Structure 1
Amino acid sequence: MDLNEDSAPSLGSMIQAPDGGRGGGAGAPRILVVEDDDAIGEELVSILTTYGMSATRVAGWDAAMAAIAAEPVDLVILDQWLGRLDALTLLPRMRAATAAHIVILTGNRAETDRIVGLEVGADDFLQKPISGRELVARVRARLRRHGPTPPPAPEVPAATRWHVAEGARRILGPGGKAVPLTGTEFDLLMLLMQTPGEPVDRDVLSLRILQRPYRPEDRAIDNLVHNIRLKFGARRGAAIITTVRNKGYAFTGFPLAG
């Protein structure tokens, strides 16, 4: 089937690439596809290579970060949900590691996710299902906006004595001792860390962490922040997460001293 036809199918149904030369030669745009669904991932790579791009695919977050570190790419197509992982929660890490365009592939139509994603490093969103023609057109349009991808700036840790072990979902303090956060507390802290120094309102926190709209009488987010502060130590915790009146909460950094 020719993807140039108006009837080009949407992602989610496997398509056959047209006969003819595949792309991916020297000088071709380098695309990294991060997609845990084998069928969709293979289809994305097939479409992109058919239209002159050099596309590779990985299935998970850790593999994506390793691929970016190993070789610069021009654009990343990142599925929002990799298993149970919402990639938006870690997007600032990818943004710090690469100057490539980052395009989120999502089936989620919520405006809040799109706004948050754009604020923390995404360049564009592609809504599932998407036709092969639109995929290629959107990728080409994004690549035309800037020249070749410059080498990424090195990521500098906010504090050398604290470490965020994302894979293990733990915060390690001086000496490697873990702060005993629950999974929900860890997710809340990671969300605040995406925009250090900038307040995140309770509406966003409730939707992203608790998957429910915030109500004025709902104290769940406040209680989570209180518990996180206590686990870092009352005085130190209050300095790590500050309350911004009428706006929400902000992450202000880990203390240098243990």
Structure 2
Amino acid sequence: MPSRSSHPALSPAAVVRALRAAGCVFAEDEAELILGTARDAAELAAMVDRRTAGLPLEHVLGWAEFHGLRVAVEPGVFVPRRRTEFLVDQALAEVPDASVVVDLCCGSGALGAALAAALDGARVHAADIDPAAVRCASRNLAPHGGHAHRGDLYDALPAALRGRVDLLTANVPYVPTPDLPLLPAEARDHEPPTALDGGPDGLAVLRRVAAGAPGWLAPGGRLLSETSERQAPAALAAFTEAGLSARVAVSEEWSAHVVIGVRG
């Protein structure tokens, strides 16, 4: 019997059935994306195999839709969440004329790419501690003239940016360590722990970002970071303790909470 890899092109109905049997809730939508991405029958069969084995859809496709862009997402790299588009919208509303932008904990570089696409001529720098993320971010930022750096938060940045950043975003890991086993298997098994684990209360990285922000922001510069509803009060306190004027923006539609801090 021929193997699946040598099977003639799977029909759309067969792809839907395979995805549905694997527990994919939006099997029809996913099938359409996979069918539209696969270049031949062998690739189609391989993509269906990977998805039914539990890989995130974005890792199977090699890209994710984010803020109107198609962002490359390599295996092992954090998949940008659609709710984080709210952070992008808030950032653009806060500093619509930003000329120097930094995105920490950048993952695939989706946030930086979205900001670079919307801010004409802005210089965008992104940083992550994970080498796979930096490679992916470099790929996504290159068309916009952006740069990705590897290192631990601010240590990764060119020193010349100190005190000159108009807009600083940080979609930090904010899952409390005890809650990591509760994450969906797609995230738990296929995304790097450094992109998920926020320490005992989920705010360890956010506190470090907030504490360092005043030294890197320009006067009037903004720091924006995503957090959860439960963590928002403590995240807000971390911003104010760092000397930033801060507030929380909320999207009921996306169940998104973004802390916004301003350097005086």
TM-score by length of 1: 0.33
Q: TM-score, normalised by structure 2?
A: 0.33
Please state which structure has a larger fraction of its residues in helix: 2
